[in-house]
Structure 1
Amino acid sequence: METQPLAVIGVVALLLAGGVGYVVADTGGAPSATAAEPTAENATVSVGADATVERAPDEATVTVAAVGRGETAAAARTNVSGDADAIRSALEDEGATVTSSRFSVRPEYDYSQDGRELVGYVAVHTIEAETTDVDRVGTLVDTTVDSGADRVQGITYSLSDETRSDAREQALTTAMDRARGDATTLATAEDRSVGDAVTIQTNDGGQPVVRAEYATAADGGGQTNISPGPVTVEVSVHVTYELE
């Protein structure tokens, strides 16, 4: 029986070296393959970079609560309602905007080895308010406590949309500069230069400044002073460049 030579059909392999793609192409049936010179069309480099920008907060959210107790749920609700109205009015008088008001009531038990005994009900009225005068947050806290707040459940500092947008733009510019710098370093190692960006992907991050403060109406004493830290805006980019 006559032996037929085997044909090389569609052999394509991608060899990666330093982020640069090299193509080994079909030789049209010849028993060997040769490496083609990389071109701008088939050679790219991908890099990732990030950047963080800090800004002083220009918005703050204060969350406080009034707590009332009673033998019945209705009594607990009645005992807390007056304080809640006073707190809301005090916040608005100080220029804050009340954005949320939540109410809950639950039974309260006394637990012992013999089981549990219902001793009454606890009503909690939580009020959340925003202000753009972040220097007066301490005053807001004192005002709410003086008006009947039993808990200062949290203070969150953040950025306005305009400030955050400006910070994000700066962070993106810095991240892209870093990405191109890294790509240039890699390309130079392969005796190449960086061309246009082929794809760009972004991802945002960053955290507001959160300060948890607790106080009761009975605490009294001096004025509350709070000094927030900066708010961070973080971005990351993943960029693929052509190599020339």
Structure 2
Amino acid sequence: MDTQPLAAIGIAALLLAGGVGFVLADTGGAGTAAPNDSTPATANATVSVGADATVERSPDEATVTVAAVGRGETAAAARNNVSGDADAVSDALEAEGATVTSSRFTVRPEYDYSQDGRELVGYVAVHTVAAETSDVDTVGSLVDAAVDNGADRVEGIAYSLSDDTRADARDEALTTAMDRARGGATTLATAEDRSVGDALSIQTSASGQPVVRAEYATAADAGGQTNISPGPVTVDVSVQVTYELE
């Protein structure tokens, strides 16, 4: 059987296992060595490895977004009908320990549609308030307080991680991904009777997915309490590492 050095033939392989991908490549310039050059042609061969890791953390921040809705025959009337409720909602959220981070107001015409066309029946004003808390166990209480004080609907609840918690999770995920990358590179190199040397380049990327809850309701309307159980927040990282082969 005809055999050739690794540098002369070049080897490319892909192996997916546990989120790890590999590519073996020769960067030594196959066939460029002088006839009497004693340096192995494969001295500059490398292996490039992609790996990823996911770390979960319990959320330690939450944002509650609620809205008060008012109607009137004119835009001014609709605005006046909602302004008091919006202020009361903001005050109630702050009294529960949350920080109101944004407030948005919109007003639009409301029409009655029929076969003959549309007829203006009034205006709808919506005042949306968003509030943050670092005590995620109080989210249900925030929803109840908002509804009890004039909020007509809950726009959304988003759970997330604080900067410190996210940084800690990212460090753990990066460590895991790098361990997988070197382990995968070692597996592939061993199969070619080689060993893995220093990392020549490293590229990383990271992302995190907030946990969003939109189905909670109006337990407060019936005098009950709103209970919400958030899921974990994930932090995902990917690394692309090129190692020297020895």
Q: Do both proteins adopt the same fold according to a TM-score greater than 0.5, normalized to the shorter chain? A: yes
The structural deviation recorded for 1:16 is: 1.9
The structural deviation recorded for 1:144 is: 0.3
What's the TM-score, normalizing by structure 1?
A: 0.87
What's the TM-score, normalizing by structure 2?
A: 0.86
1:38 aligns with 2:38: no
Task: Check the 8 A contact 1:71/1:121 in 2, yes or no.
Answer: yes
Task: Check the 8 A contact 1:145/1:217 in 2, yes or no.
Answer: no
Separation in 1 of the partners of 2:186 and 2:219?
Answer: 62
Separation in 2 of the partners of 1:169 and 1:238?
Answer: 16
Q: Structure 1 counterpart of 2:51, which letter?
A: A
Separation in 2 of the partners of 1:214 and 1:151?
Answer: 10
Q: CA deviation digits over 1:48-90, x for unaligned, max 9? A: 0000001000000000000000000000000000000000000
1:191 aligns with 2:197: no
Task: Check the 8 A contact 2:218/2:226 in 1, yes or no.
Answer: no
Task: Check the 8 A contact 2:89/2:146 in 1, yes or no.
Answer: yes
2:30 maps to 24
Task: Check the 8 A contact 2:63/2:159 in 1, yes or no.
Answer: yes
Q: CA deviation digits over 1:171-224, x for unaligned, max 9? A: 000000000000000110111100000010001122011101354698324110
The alignment yields a C-alpha RMSD, in angstroms, of 2.1
Separation in 2 of the partners of 1:78 and 1:134?
Answer: 33
Task: Check the 8 A contact 1:60/1:130 in 2, yes or no.
Answer: yes
Q: 1:15 aligns with which of 5, 9, 19?
A: 9
Larger radius of gyration: 1
1:93 aligns with 2:95: yes
Separation in 1 of the partners of 2:221 and 2:41?
Answer: 74
1:230 maps to 232
2:163 maps to 161
1:242 maps to 244
User: How many residues end up aligned between the 2 structures?
Assistant: 226
Q: 1:106 aligns with which of 84, 105, 108?
A: 108
Q: 1:67 aligns with which of 66, 69, 72?
A: 69
**Greater displacement, 78-87 / 212-221:** 212-221
Q: Structure 2 counterpart of 1:139, which letter?
A: S
Separation in 2 of the partners of 1:139 and 1:27?
Answer: 74
Q: 1:213 aligns with which of 207, 212, 215?
A: 215
Task: Check the 8 A contact 1:145/1:215 in 2, yes or no.
Answer: no
1:175 aligns with 2:177: yes
SS in 2 for 1:24: coil
Separation in 2 of the partners of 1:185 and 1:218?
Answer: 58
The structural deviation recorded for 1:37 is: 3.4
Separation in 2 of the partners of 1:49 and 1:232?
Answer: 17
Task: Check the 8 A contact 1:99/1:130 in 2, yes or no.
Answer: yes
Task: Check the 8 A contact 1:49/1:179 in 2, yes or no.
Answer: yes
Separation in 1 of the partners of 2:8 and 2:100?
Answer: 61
